[in-house]
């Protein structure tokens, strides 16, 4: 006699709950593993290339100590060629200087703009229009802005300078900073801001002495994002470069000037380029967590 399957509605609830308790964690961990594999694959690929022997460059071997014996010859080459046109010394110093300048400018100008927008709360249409214009600058594809930015930098004699990169990258990072800070400033006690204005405090003083300390964790996050955006930006760095403004992303592109593309050097370049933002992201994560914990403790007290 053949057994007839019962519909799901007739399955006992206890059995369905047991199935859900077993399946949901498995699906959750599978999604986490897939996301980690998707995210970490480029890092692992670059690390393997940086220690793979040149003789195995085009062979499908990916497991160090299992399929091949790793070598540090590529890293010694990086150190020996660090001051060449495709080395990392000049690009590293320039990218660090530009990245930290962009982080400082985007957070400082973002706080001032958020305070100014807060003073426009009586005119919601004007405020919404300003925010819409900021969003519009991020909707436009960057390739559309390459020509005008290039011509403008030539006209003001800033082409091939780090100052031009700082201004360009700040313009790219500033819209998100202003939008995030405009939403965060609404959580600042309104009475505190109104009392400061009644006492005659200027917008600059309110931003520096009241808003910035209260929103310090958010400022750290915005600065980290701005630094990372400047660190990996390639399009405007390429069009701005002629002889002096050399960045890390250009050092990878310039590897093709030799006899073909040597992937082991691409791997070592990528590893050295990825380390600083990873370290900064780790430190910033700890700072943000600490700041949020202190704020919660103060509210509870």
Dist CA 207 CA 184 (whole Å) = 13
- Residue 2 maps to a domain: no
**Quick one: 45 and 85 in the same domain?**
no
Dist CA 183 CA 118 (whole Å) = 10
Q: Across the chain, what does the average pLDDT equal?
A: 79
Q: pLDDT category, 1, cuts 50, 70, 90?
A: very low
Residues of the chain above pLDDT 90, percent? 11
Find how far residue 235's CA is from the centre of its chain. 16
**Quick one: 61 and 89 in the same domain?**
no
- Residue 33 maps to a domain: yes
**17 pLDDT more than 70:** no
**Quick one: 52 and 143 in the same domain?**
no
- Residue 106 maps to a domain: yes
Return the residue matching tokens 């229009």: 129
**Quick one: 144 and 207 in the same domain?**
yes
pLDDT of residue 14: 55
Q: Choose one of 53, 71, 89: the last residue of a domain.
A: 71
Give Rg (Cα) of the chain: 26
CA angle 47/51/57 to nearest 5° reads 100
CA torsion angle 141 147 151 153 (round to 10): 40
**Quick one: 29 and 48 in the same domain?**
yes
Cut 0.85: pTM above it: no
- 172-183 residue pLDDT tens: 999 888 888 888
Q: How many domains does the chain have?
A: 2
Domain CATH for 271: 1.10.3720.10
The answer to whether 251 and 269 are in contact (CB under 8 A) is yes
Q: pLDDT category, 291, cuts 50, 70, 90?
A: very low
Dist CA 301 CA 292 (whole Å) = 14
**Quick one: 134 and 41 in the same domain?**
no
Least confident of 241-255, 267-281, 287-301: 287-301
pLDDT of residue 286: 66
Residue range(s) defining the domain that contains residue 236:
77-300
**Quick one: 194 and 123 in the same domain?**
yes
**Quick one: 84 and 197 in the same domain?**
yes
């Amino acid at each position: 006699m053949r057994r007839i399957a019962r519909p799901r509605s007739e399955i006992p609830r206890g059995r369905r709950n047991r199935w859900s308790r077993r399946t949901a964690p498995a699906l959750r961990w599978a999604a986490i593993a897939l996301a980690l594999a998707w995210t970490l694959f480029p890092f692992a690929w670059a690390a393997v290339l940086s220690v793979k022997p040149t003789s195995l460059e085009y062979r499908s071997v990916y497991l160090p100590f299992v399929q091949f014996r790793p070598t540090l010859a590529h890293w010694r080459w990086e150190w020996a060629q660090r001051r060449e046109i495709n080395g990392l010394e000049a690009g590293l110093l320039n990218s660090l200087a530009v990245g930290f300048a962009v982080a400082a400018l985007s957070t400082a100008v973002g706080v001032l703009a958020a305070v100014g927008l807060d003073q426009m709360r009586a005119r919601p249409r004007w405020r919404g229009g300003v925010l819409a214009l900021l969003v519009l600058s991020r909707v436009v594809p960057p390739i559309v802005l390459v020509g005008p930015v290039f011509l403008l930098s030539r006209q003001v004699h800033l082409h091939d300078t780090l100052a031009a990169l700082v201004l360009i990258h700040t313009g790219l990072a500033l819209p998100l900073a202003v939008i995030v800070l405009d939403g965060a400033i609404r959580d600042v006690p309104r009475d505190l801001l109104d009392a400061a204005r009644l006492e005659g405090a200027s917008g600059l003083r309110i931003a520096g002495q009241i808003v910035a300390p209260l929103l310090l964790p958010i400022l750290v996050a915005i600065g980290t994002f701005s630094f990372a955006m400047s660190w990996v930006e390639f399009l405007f760095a390429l069009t701005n470069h002629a002889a002096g403004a050399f960045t890390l992303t250009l050092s990878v592109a310039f590897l093709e000037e030799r006899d073909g593309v040597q992937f082991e050097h691409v791997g070592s370049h990528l590893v050295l380029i990825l380390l600083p933002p990873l370290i900064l992201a780790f430190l910033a994560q700890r700072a943000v967590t600490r700041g949020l914990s202190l704020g919660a403790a103060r509210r509870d007290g």
